[in-house]
Amino acid sequence: MPRPSVIPAVLLRLEQYLEQREAEYLAQPEAERTPTLPATGDGKVNVRQLAAAIGLKQTQEKYLFERAELSGLINLMAEGQGLAPIGARLLEKAADAAVLERLARKSQEAKLSSQAAVEAEAVQAELLQRIGDLEADNQRLHAENLRLRTRLDLIDAGTLIPLDD
């Protein structure tokens, strides 16, 4: 026979605790309200202290993290009091990991772009050298062509010029 679930009893104690904390919170002057839920130094709800406050054993703390009906109530209250919800550290770590992954990807893309730019500059320099060489060949051939036309014109005019080539 399965053991009865402890969740309904935990839920009842949690609701009572949260109602008391909410009443304390609302009793404060609106301009001076501070969270009445247990909090960490960095503004997150302290689930361990909350679990101890409602009489949970250390082995039962996991229910506040894992059970949506429990963590949802706590998160609503926490956010209402300006605290980060349960799992905020995991979300931050996931966001940090995503940012680091994005940075690594952008860095790799930048490295590849830089390498491609260097290669393109090398190809451009090679092409410019080739163009310069072809231009010099073209000028040499143009000069030779002009010299040979002049000889042909002289031959056509009847002047015999011996070839010294």
pLDDT of 94 > 70? The answer is no
* Residue 113 domain-assigned (yes or no): no
Share of the chain above pLDDT 70, in %: 90
CA angle 89, 95, 101 (to 5 degrees): 135
Share of the chain above pLDDT 90, in %: 21
* Residue 152 domain-assigned (yes or no): no
Least confident of 12-16, 103-107, 111-115, 156-160: 156-160
pLDDT, tens only, 113-130? 889 889 999 999 999 999
pLDDT of 63 > 60? The answer is yes
Q: How many domains does the chain have?
A: 1
pTM of the model: 0.51
* Residue 97 domain-assigned (yes or no): no
Position 140 scores a pLDDT of: 95
pLDDT, tens only, 6-22? 788 888 898 999 899 99
Closest among 126, 108, 127 to 116, alpha carbons compared: 108
* Residue 162 domain-assigned (yes or no): no
* Residue 64 domain-assigned (yes or no): yes
Its domain, for residue 81, covers 7-86
CA angle 140, 142, 146 (to 5 degrees): 120
Cα 40–chain centre separation? 28
pLDDT, tens only, 30-62? 888 888 888 888 888 888 888 898 988 888 888
| Token pair for 122 | 């090398």
Tally of CB atoms within 10 A around 50? 23
* Residue 139 domain-assigned (yes or no): no
The overall longest dimension of the chain from CA atoms, in Å, is 128
* Residue 41 domain-assigned (yes or no): yes
Query: From residue 109, how far is each of 103, 106, 112, 120 by CA, in Å?
Result: 10, 5, 5, 16
* Residue 156 domain-assigned (yes or no): no
pLDDT of 165 > 60? The answer is no
116 and 124 Cβ atoms separated by less than 8 Å: no
Catalogue the long-range contacts made by 88-97 (C-beta closer than 8 Å, 24 or more residues apart): 88/44, 89/44
